[in-house]
A and B are shown apart, each in its own frame.
Chain A
Amino acid sequence: MTALRFDPPTLPPGAEALREEVRRFLADERAKGTWSPRGDFGTHPDTAFSRLVGQQGWIGMTWPRQYGGHERSGLERYVVTEELLVSGAPITAHWIADRQSGPLILRVGTEAQKQRFLPAIARGEIFFCIGMSEPDSGSDLVSIRTKGTKVEGGWRITGRKVWTSNAHICDYAITLVRTGPQEPDRHSGLSQFILDLKAPGVEIRPIRNLAGHHDFNEMILDDVFLADDMLVGQPGDGWKQVTSELAFERSGPERFLSTYRLLAALVDRGGTAPDDRVAEATGRFVAHMWALRGMSLSIAGMLQAGETPNLEAACVKDLGNAFERAIPETARLVAPSAMPVAGANDPFETIQAEAVLNAPSITLRGGTREILRGIIARGLGLR
């Protein structure tokens, strides 16, 4: 049995000053009317706001300076990330590029790709999304059918991607494509490409979600030509590349803070002398959040030290997602009802409604709870 490890992290000196800097920035910009809190990290993109964040040096924070990065530690990035999330700032547009696409290019991309894409990502000028899922391939990702065929000077790609979040506002999609046979095993033969979403043959169609919002899309790829220099990493290494960054993708504060604003709204609604129901609920949520943050920070520290705590990350996501979903379920039962005020928007009710409607997505995106539990079980030696 593999014991799960959560080493104590050490925040670098200056982390708290950085935290204050982020808080000041958010307060100043909010006072100017640049932004207002809305949604969770996956909704409400605001490309202008993302550019502002880029100007602060808070995108690509850990990347080398020569590629527009700022060579700060992963724990400093953690501090910035959690402050942005808790405030409800609209960071969706640059989220994927900062967390996934940029690090992928940095790790396996060519020198030309690094120079071309990373500085622009870090400035908040270009945005990426992820084209992995397909109509017949969700959890079982290796079964994808979008096909890439080698041609003179590049590849021709044909297929259909679904649930591509924010493809309609992004410039590129890191797209997973089958380019070879499933040999020697079924994980072989997949490759990742940087797909220019304006390229001929790419069609993006909106898919409205149950809340009526347009966040994700369908992407039709009809014989799209991608030059050789749009392949990321080695042909056939796609699966290895996709799975090697899972600890980054599953352990961050976005995996347990999606409904933080509702918790804050519940505290607000409870007043300074809350009844026992509200006090018990908020106290219990704070205890859960405290432990989750401790786990997540610990993983950030281990990642910074060059380790790959994939199992621990799966724990954080599964527990964190359950926590995020419990908040609206409990809040609706314990929140004292407010007196209806004609014409006024009640902030608690608004956030609560949004959280209930968004809840189902939490335990699906980024790996379903069933898949995560399977990973942990394997770590326990059970498969």
Chain B
Amino acid sequence: MSDLVFDTADRLFRDAVDKDLLDRTEAGAFPEALWQAVEETGLVEAFADPDTGVADAAAVLRAAGRHAVPLPIAETLLARRLLQRAGLDIPAGPLALAPTDVNDRSAFAGGRLMGTFYSVGWASRATAIVALADGHVLVVDPARARIEPGRNLAGEPREIVTIDGPPLAAARAPIMPETLRREGAWSRSLLMLGAMETTLEVAATYANDRVQFGRPIGKQQSIQHQLALMAEEVAASAVAARLATERLDGDEAFLAVACAKIRCGEAAGKAAEYAHQVMGAIGFTHEHTLHHLTRRLWSWRDEYGRESDWSIELGQRVALVGANGLWPWLTRA
């Protein structure tokens, strides 16, 4: 099932996303036609199947990462899942999701949501902002929120959203804020995995094509070794992301997602470094497509908790299970 979903998404994104679309989106346009296609192919409903939903959603995210898709795919997938679990109607169109960061502040009292969320993806383009506050899932009309522009390193909208007023809809929250943060981190791990896969392909192809000193630079051992290291990072990320996907709704979701975000985040930085070194000055130009991937890698590793944040939290849990409990924990999970 998930392989089919991946192939569908991969084909759609490969055909539709090119440098021109990426540049135009970054300049402020919204790729309306691509969004329509994403909705029509049912990709935003990837979570729907109770058995394969998480794996299907992971497939969509990985494909989106592979092609640097300039749309709120992760946000919409997770927001729809939250609404569905809360028993709320799901509005059509792209959705925004809040909070994204532990520094976000909100309160829901007397039928009124008051909150400030610092890095909401695509809020100004969303048909609704879905927020989790004070044990409630709330649907907010973006037109009634104050939205200050902002972008991450990749030029993806990350906006400051201030809300003060009644939501369009509300329901008791089916999950804790930690769960939402975990799912956000998981989504970034899959996006990073996809982007790293393409980055590796681009760099390896370039190494075989680019000739210096009379032969392809890919014949140079130092270049070979950097690409080998990059392949290792991608491989470790793929496995970490799969383990997290298998456990996203399980008892060991924290462990698996923390490990995925830490591992993929670290790999993202290294993969970007190796790729740019191998590709020389051309990879540093705006003209080349590489930066659409690497700027996303640099952004996504910071979103929903950096490697250091997750490592400290994981390390504290490890301390509680203790030296003798660590291995039994890992083998049980």
Interface residues of A (CB under 8 A from B): 1, 4, 6, 8, 19, 82, 86, 260, 263-265, 267-268, 270-274, 276, 278-284, 286-295, 298, 312, 315, 318-319, 370, 372-374, 376-377, 379-383
Contacts and interface: CB of A to CB of B under 8 A. Distances in A.
A282 B315 contact: yes
Nearest to B308: A280
Contacts of A373: 224-225, 228-229
A284 B323 contact: no
Given A4-B231, A282-B315, A290-B259, A382 B204 contact: yes
B314 interface: yes
Nearest to B218: A382
Interface stretch (B13-21, B39-47, B106-114, B232-240): B232-240
A374 B246 CA distance: 33
Contact of B318 (A282, A374, A379): A282
A374 B224 contact: yes
B284 interface: no
Given A4-B231, A319-B236, A283 B322 contact: no
B254 to A, nearest CB: 11
Contacts of A289: 330
Contacts of B260: 287
30 contacts: A1-B200, A19-B331, A86-B327, A260-B327, A264-B323, A264-B326, A267-B319, A270-B315, A272-B322, A278-B315, A278-B319, A283-B312, A283-B313, A288-B263, A290-B243, A290-B256, A291-B239, A291-B263, A292-B236, A295-B239, A315-B235, A318-B229, A370-B221, A377-B218, A380-B231, A381-B204, A382-B204, A382-B208, A382-B219, A383-B218
B36 interface: no
Given A282-B314, A287-B240, A291-B259, 11 more contacts: A4-B235, A279-B316, A279-B318, A279-B319, A284-B315, A294-B240, A294-B242, A372-B228, A377-B228, A379-B231, A380-B228
B122 interface: no
Contacts of A86: 327
Nearest to A323: B236
Interface string B264-279: 0010000000000000
A276 B312 contact: yes
Residue among A86, A372, A373 with max Cβ neighbours from chain B (10 Å): A373
A278 B319 CA distance: 9
Nearest to A86: B327
B208 A381 contact: yes
Contacts of A382: 204, 207-208, 218-219, 223-224, 227
A109 to B, nearest CB: 34
B25 interface: no
B130 interface: no
A255 to B, nearest CB: 13
B225 A377 contact: yes
A288 to B, nearest CB: 7
B229 A283 contact: no
Contacts of B180: none
Contacts of A374: 221, 224-225, 228
Contacts of B322: 267-268, 272
A281 B315 contact: yes
Nearest to B242: A8
A274 B315 contact: yes
B293 interface: no
A86 B218 CA distance: 39
A287 B323 contact: no
A82 B328 CA distance: 12
Interface of B: 200-201, 204-205, 207-208, 218-219, 221, 223-225, 227-229, 231-232, 234-240, 242-243, 246, 255-256, 258-260, 262-263, 266, 307-308, 310-316, 318-320, 322-324, 326-327, 330-331
A273 B319 contact: yes
A380 B208 CA distance: 10
A373 B308 CA distance: 28
Nearest to B313: A283
A376 B232 contact: yes
B179 to A, nearest CB: 20
A294 B243 contact: yes
A308 B319 CA distance: 38
Nearest to A296: B239
Contacts of B320: 272
Contacts of B225: 370, 373-374, 377
Contacts of B231: 4, 315, 376, 379-380
Contacts of B308: 280
A380 B219 CA distance: 12
B311 A293 contact: no
Nearest to B236: A291
B236 A295 contact: yes
Nearest to A2: B231
B318 A267 contact: yes
Given A19-B331, A287-B259, A279 B315 contact: yes
A319 B228 CA distance: 11
A260 B200 CA distance: 31
Residue among A280, A288, A289 with max Cβ neighbours from chain B (10 Å): A280
A268 B320 CA distance: 10
B258 A287 contact: yes
Contacts of A288: 236, 263
Contacts of A280: 308, 311-312, 315
Contact of A383 (B224, B235, B259): B224
A292 B233 CA distance: 11
Nearest to B238: A6
Residue among A272, A312, A315, A382 with max Cβ neighbours from chain B (10 Å): A382
A267 B326 contact: yes
Contacts of A379: 231
A279 B316 CA distance: 6
A260 B323 CA distance: 10
A4 to B, nearest CB: 5
Nearest to B330: A290
Contacts of B235: 4, 6, 295, 312, 315, 319
A289 B318 CA distance: 13
A8 B239 CA distance: 9
